[in-house]
């Protein structure tokens, strides 16, 4: 097991026995039930234990967050931005140890983990600027001596549910924006990555202390499905932002809607790239490799389906087989390895089952798909399968390094087949033909929330709103105007005259003797 300086990034929360509670409000630790062992995918060894929260602890957390919100919402937004600026300073100070925690828990290559921490820093910087740009509108009114405008107000405690694959950055997208918008935070992280959550929580507490704020602005709750249900059912939680599978999002969204709550869902992607004959093939192969293999194929933006024009298909297959044969797989702390493990044995089993199903449905295994038996942990070689785009297995997202290749005759056919799946997160086209690029970006082109030209499907910057359509959930996080998710809009009309004209020219006159 790698030596990770937990204590340096978990001030006040570090447990020398690596046994952590079920919930944290500030540094206050709550004891829960059971002891869930957390296993590193790198070597299959237990590195921590966590407890799970009961309804009592969850009620305390939510009420504490509600009270903290009431204080925080009255702080001017630029001042709230100052807290996020201080937090970014803490992240910069501990960038490398934070990255090493991610690599321990999620099995990401260290370079990718460093990139994730940098993404968290970047979104904090974005949010600091945003704290002076929470603009409303002045709206033209049809009534004389009236003014109409919009204001945006904080909404309350924000629950952030995160997955294992980006254990810090996705929380950061939500946390940085929610804080500058005037809300408090409750974090339900993946049980695979408790130390990532506690490390970020601890550094945020350090920033809150320096700012002079209320530590109850930040809480962490551990648990599984029962704990998620207790949280999302609580009417005092103003927004539930959930990242994970489509099935998880559908269940969360249904429960939140049942209480007329608000949800922000970032769910699965079954992402595609279209490769045209005019493309720069060397550039495309590099993009395919990173998009398909980054984070061991466990990104929501991972490339799953590659549509190749029929005249260049064999050339591309040969190039990809050669590249895949050179991919080094192993300890993600060793920077010579391009790929680390998948998250657990279940991920290995699901990938093997998908390969078996694809072959049974007419697919041809072109590369990889073998379990790595000479290493401890959960390692498997990345696979390429040539298969019909309409095969049943292709319609599902396999969260693993499994790439399907399809051939096409004309671009319109490729776009139609790309759009035929239920998910709609990320997409890309490689072409040097401006007409092909513009068709892909038009309303008749990609139906995804992200559509790229001559770059891969993964690796989004924080400045653009991130999210997708259809079963991907329709939410948008991070950049652009995603801040509006964390606020409520209020339309104001002010009459500064002495008359009471009604809209639409309606006349409603009372008798003169009243």
103 φ, ψ (degrees, to nearest 5): -65, -40
Distance between CA atoms of residues 290 and 170, nearest Å = 20
Choose among 306, 315, 312: nearest CA to 288. Answer: 306
Residues known to be catalytic: 266, 300
DSSP H or E segment with residue 348: helix 345-360
Choose among 33, 14, 11: nearest CA to 22. Answer: 33
Name the residue with tokens 């990320």. Answer: 426
- What distance lies between CA 326 and its chain's CA centroid? 30
Other CB atoms within a 10 A radius of the CB of residue 390 amount to 11
Choose among 87, 300, 90, 53: nearest CA to 189. Answer: 53
Q: What per-residue string of b and e applies to 252-265 under the rule 16 or more CB within 10 Å gives b? A: bbebbeeeebbbbb
Distance between CA atoms of residues 108 and 431, nearest Å = 31
Largest Cα separation within the chain, whole Å, is: 96
Name the residue with tokens 């060397």. Answer: 282
Beta-strand relationship, 239-243 and 303-309:
unpaired
Hey, which residues does 265 pair with through a beta bridge? 242
Three-state secondary-structure class, residue 214: coil
Crossing angle of helices 169-180 and 110-130, rounded to 10°: 10
Hey, which residues does 272 pair with through a beta bridge? 305, 427
Structure tokens at 249: 């999002």
Strand order in the sheet with 402-408: 364-367, 383-386, 402-408, 303-309, 271-275, 426-430, 450-453
Name the residue with tokens 């490339």. Answer: 303
């Amino acid at each position: 097991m790698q030596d990770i300086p937990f204590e340096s990034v978990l001030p006040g929360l570090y447990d020398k026995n690596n046994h952590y509670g079920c919930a944290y409000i500030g540094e206050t630790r709550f004891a829960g039930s059971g002891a869930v062992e957390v296993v590193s995918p790198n070597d299959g060894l237990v590195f921590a234990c966590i407890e799970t929260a009961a309804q009592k602890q969850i009620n305390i957390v939510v009420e504490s967050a509600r009270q903290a919100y009431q204080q925080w919402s009255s702080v001017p937004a630029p001042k709230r931005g100052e807290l996020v600026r201080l937090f970014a300073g803490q992240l910069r100070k501990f960038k490398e140890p934070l990255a090493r925690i991610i690599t321990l828990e999620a099995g990401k290559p260290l370079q990718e983990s460093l990139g994730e921490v940098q993404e968290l820093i970047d979104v904090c910087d974005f949010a600091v600027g945003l704290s002076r740009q929470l603009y409303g509108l002045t709206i033209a009114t049809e009534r004389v001596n009236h003014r109409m405008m919009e204001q945006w107000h904080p909404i309350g405690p924000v629950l952030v549910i995160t997955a294992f694959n980006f254990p810090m950055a996705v929380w950061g997208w939500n946390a940085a924006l929610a804080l500058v918008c005037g809300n408090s935070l409750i974090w339900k992280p993946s049980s695979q990555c408790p130390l990532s959550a506690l490390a970020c929580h601890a550094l945020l507490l350090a920033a809150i202390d320096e700012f002079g704020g209320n530590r109850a602005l930040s809480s962490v709750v551990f648990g599984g499905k029962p704990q998620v249900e207790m949280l999302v059912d609580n009417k005092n939680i103003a927004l539930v932002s959930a990242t994970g599978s489509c099935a998880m999002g559908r269940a969360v969204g249904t429960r939140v809607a049942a209480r007329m709550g608000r949800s922000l869902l970032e769910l699965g992607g079954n992402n595609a790239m279209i490769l045209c004959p005019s493309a720069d093939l060397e550039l495309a192969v590099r993009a395919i490799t990173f998009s398909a293999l980054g984070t061991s194929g466990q990104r929501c933006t991972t490339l799953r389906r590659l549509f190749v024009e029929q005249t260049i298909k064999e050339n591309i297959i040969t190039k990809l087989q050669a590249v895949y044969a050179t991919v080094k797989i192993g300890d993600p702390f060793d920077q010579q390895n391009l790929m680390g493990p998948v998250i657990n044995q279940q991920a290995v089993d699901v990938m093997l089952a998908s390969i078996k199903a694809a072959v049974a449905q007419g697919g041809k295994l072109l590369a990889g798909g073998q379990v790595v038996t000479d290493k401890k942990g959960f390692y498997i070689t990345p696979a390429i399968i040539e298969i019909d785009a309409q095969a049943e297995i292709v319609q599902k997202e396999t969260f693993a390094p499994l790439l399907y290749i399809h051939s096409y005759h004309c671009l319109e056919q490729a776009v139609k087949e790309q759009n035929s799946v239920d998910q709609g997160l990320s997409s890309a086209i490689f072409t040097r033909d401006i007409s092909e690029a513009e068709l892909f970006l038009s309303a008749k082109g990609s139906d995804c929330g992200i559509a790229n030209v001559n770059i891969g499907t993964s690796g989004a910057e924080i400045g653009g709103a991130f999210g997708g359509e259809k079963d991907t959930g329709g939410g948008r996080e991070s950049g652009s105007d995603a801040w509006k998710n964390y606020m409520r809009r209020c339309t104001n009309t002010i009459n500064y005259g002495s008359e009471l004209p009604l809209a639409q020219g309606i006349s409603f006159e009372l008798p003169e003797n009243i």
